[in-house]
Amino acid sequence: MSELVAVPVLLPLGAAGLSMAFGRFADVQRWLGLLVLGVIVVDAAVLLYFADVHGPLVLHLGGWAAPVGIALVADRLAALLLLISVIVMFAVLLYSIGQRITDYGRGTASTTFHPIYLVLCSGVSLAYLTGDLFNLFVAFEIMLASSYVLITRRTTVNRVRAGMTYTIVSLSSSVLFLTMIGLVYAATGTVNLADLALEMGELPPAPVRALALLMIIVFGVKSAMVPLHFWLPDSYPNAPAPITAIFAALLTKVGIYAMIRTQILVFEREPSWPLMLTLAMATMIVGALGALAQNDLNRMLSFLLVSHIGFMLFGLGVYDIAGLTGVILYIVHHITVQATLFLVSGLITRYTGTVALSRMGGLAKISPLVAVLFAVPALSLAGVPPFSGFVAKLALLRAGVGVGTVWAQVATGVVVLTSLLTLYAVARVWSRAFWGQVREPEGDPDPSDELVVGTGDTSRGMVRATGVLVLSTVLVAVLAGPLAEVSQRAATDLISGEAYRAAVLGGGSGG
């Protein structure tokens, strides 16, 4: 079964080349992308089942055993996040196909979108499955290259500016990432994560703390942690809805995943981590207040994205099994909800012609379905029961209360406050965009770009794809019990690390 671990990385890369070869055949590209993502969904589900029942699955590339060789590892955490991520990528691709057919017709092919989208899928998969720091760096570079192409397609001045901001910040963090890898290798003689967990214990405390802090900075940039978040609200809102949705759903979560994996597997700490709890509180409050100050719908959602990264940092800061269980549940919830909200934003601008909340109104009368599609993920993001956000936040709150330290109690209070601010922010969108008098849509300010707005034209594919993601957010709440159990087992594996190390360094699958 270990060969299945390579499928999510290699299959989309091969399919990307094939998709490029069929660049003039639109339907071939579309069906190829959907088929590949469908296969990866099945593969990820199988990996999750075997990782949960039998322990981590490991593939040693080229037959070279770790720590010398490259290892791909599918444990419970990696397989679960891979499954959720690819399901979201499948739904977003459906939306994108429906949008392109609506705007340009069924016969119009896209030379670059489908191949690059598959390359992005490969990069995300590699980030989850890699067992060493250098190939984690490679995964981030694959995601950076593909995301830059996606964010600057059909270039306009604003999108070039946004793309340059995103790229410069990402490249700067990549230089820091490479520096960190060099320092880690110089200090320990290895970059394999399982081996690092053993080698770090042989170092004096000072260099260990310095390396841990450097990793926090590197992955803090990737995950948009305050105060390293400034690039995100300027980059994401300028891309078309499907691109923004997939960026918001996955790229920052990969950064959070990398931070969780490295900080817990490689370094040892006691429960309640003051530094991370402080960063979590700052991220929650700054993001929420930034969202309340916005009139641009997409910028508001971007700031809420930053704010809710803080919830995940909070669970990491609690640093016990209960906290990590809450983090895993929250990542699963947030991947689906954030993608859904940005897709709904794309539907909204189809009817309004603008992202300015002050110039919207009456959408509930024009399209009650869009109103429902917005209400469900918005209430879930705010943590209103019985939606998935309530389940995930409840797990985090219980963990924060249970740890018992004063700093954790304060951070728990900030979680509650931020949830209330989030509810106010989404209620403000509802009152301005969906209530009130119906307003005439504004004209498309730039018909030459891919941000087609103000036409009122949507397709069944776009609405159905959004509906699939709304349904997935509901299913996360319905399946909260089984998901919580899997998340708890994954959190236990993270804290212990024994199964992961035995599987990787033992040369096979561990239980």
- Helix axis angle for 157-188 and 205-223, nearest 10°, is 160
Domain count, the chain: 1
> What is the pLDDT at residue 293?
93
Q: Taking 50 as the threshold, does the pLDDT of residue 511 lie above it? A: no
Q: Taking 80 as the threshold, does the pLDDT of residue 462 lie above it? A: yes
Give percent of the chain with pLDDT exceeding 90: 69
Does any domain span residue 511? no
Contact 387, 477 (CB under 8 A): yes
Using alpha carbons, select from 229, 219, 407 the residue that is nearest to residue 307.
229
- Structural domain boundaries enclosing 468: 2-505
Contact 507, 65 (CB under 8 A): yes
Tell me which of 343 and 66 has the higher pLDDT.
Answer: 343
Q: Taking 80 as the threshold, does the pLDDT of residue 412 lie above it? A: yes
Looking at residues 54-80, what average pLDDT do you find? 90
Tell me which of 457 and 174 has the higher pLDDT.
Answer: 174
**Band (295; pLDDT cuts 50, 70, 90):** very high
Looking at residues 223-242, what average pLDDT do you find? 87
Does any domain span residue 211? yes
| Chain CA centroid to CA 266, Å | 22
Does any domain span residue 510? no
Looking at residues 129-151, what average pLDDT do you find? 92
Instruction: Dump pLDDT digits (tens) for 151-169.
Output: 877 666 666 776 778 888 8
Least confident residue range of 32-41, 106-115, 267-276 = 106-115
> What is the pLDDT at residue 395?
94
Instruction: Dump pLDDT digits (tens) for 360-390.
Output: 888 888 889 999 999 999 999 999 998 999 9
Query: Cα separation of 176 and 173, whole Å?
Result: 5
Residues 6 or more apart whose CB falls under 8 angstroms from that of 9 comprise: 72, 122, 125, 126, 129
Rounded to two decimals, the pTM is 0.93
Helix or strand or coil: residue 59? strand
Q: Identify any residues that bridge with 464 across adjacent strands, giving them in sequence order.
A: none
